[in-house]
Copies of this chain bind each other. A is one copy, B any other.
Amino acid sequence: MSVTARANDFTPLYVHIGRYLRALILDGELTTGDAIPSETDLVKKFGTTRGTVRSAVDVLVNEKLVQRVHGKGTFVQARPIRHDIWDFGGFTDSLGDQASLAVAKVISAHTMDLEGRTYFELVRLRGIKVNDHIDYLSLDTSWIPLDMFPGIDVVDFEDRSLYELFRKTYDTHPRRTAMTLTAEVIDDTERRLLKEKSQDALLVAHGSAFDQNDIEIERIKSVYSSRIQFNFTTAIADPEEWLK
């Protein structure tokens, strides 16, 4: 990517600078521990002000791609990059940065019988693509009842989203998923597909997806990569406040 030419005039400058820096890191020109250009350097390079440059770096800081150190500089973080599970599972589209794209790779697809019903079993690696670098973040197995979605077993899912197919071909609109989280020791296949090295156990979610009428349309098992984070916050009630 050239330094100054933006994709179009409507891309905010801070997003553009952020992409420039992200490319430096993901393309390997900067690696773990390296300092990115200082804020004043970037100000000169892009002909802008520190406020805009800091906005750009803020994005990378929130992605945990870099870390600021007061008085020293801003440094590339140790890999692996971690993603928040809500960004991934919920609204990949709203990442705001079109450099990120949801991708999927089919591992296997066939029909099977279970509890007297025929299901289409689809196993996919799913992840995000940033600057031509694909990071697979989960191994998803879907079981879809064939009687509800006839013909789904002959669809090529390499370049079609499952939910897009539901919407366009079957007029079924997925609305929510209900999942239960567990921890499982992974096998060699899972380890290889998700490129896990030292990790022996991973988060696994079991559950179902429901459509606009709250009908169960899909059973799901997702094995999450260790590069994905499950962050949550809780509020703590104070008993004394109940006396108010």
Contacts and interface: CB of A to CB of B under 8 A. Distances in A.
A177 interface: yes
Nearest to A237: B91
Contact of A234 (B89, B173, B182, B236): B89
Nearest to A84: B64
Contact of A26 (B181, B203, B235): B235
Interface residues of A, number: 53
A238 interface: yes
Contact of A181 (B63, B91, B185, B232): B232
A237 B94 contact: yes
Contacts of A86: 64, 80, 232, 234
Given A86-B234, A90-B237, A201-B201, 12 more contacts: A80-B90, A81-B232, A91-B237, A93-B237, A167-B239, A174-B238, A175-B238, A176-B233, A176-B235, A177-B233, A200-B201, A203-B203
- Nearest first, the 10 closest Cβ-Cβ pairs linking A and B are A183-B183, A201-B201, A181-B230, A183-B201, A174-B236, A86-B234, A185-B200, A26-B235, A183-B203, A185-B201
Interface of A: 26-27, 51, 58, 62-65, 80-81, 83, 86-87, 89-91, 93-94, 163, 167, 173-185, 200-204, 209, 226, 229-241
8 contacts: A62-B62, A80-B86, A80-B90, A86-B232, A93-B239, A173-B238, A180-B231, A185-B185
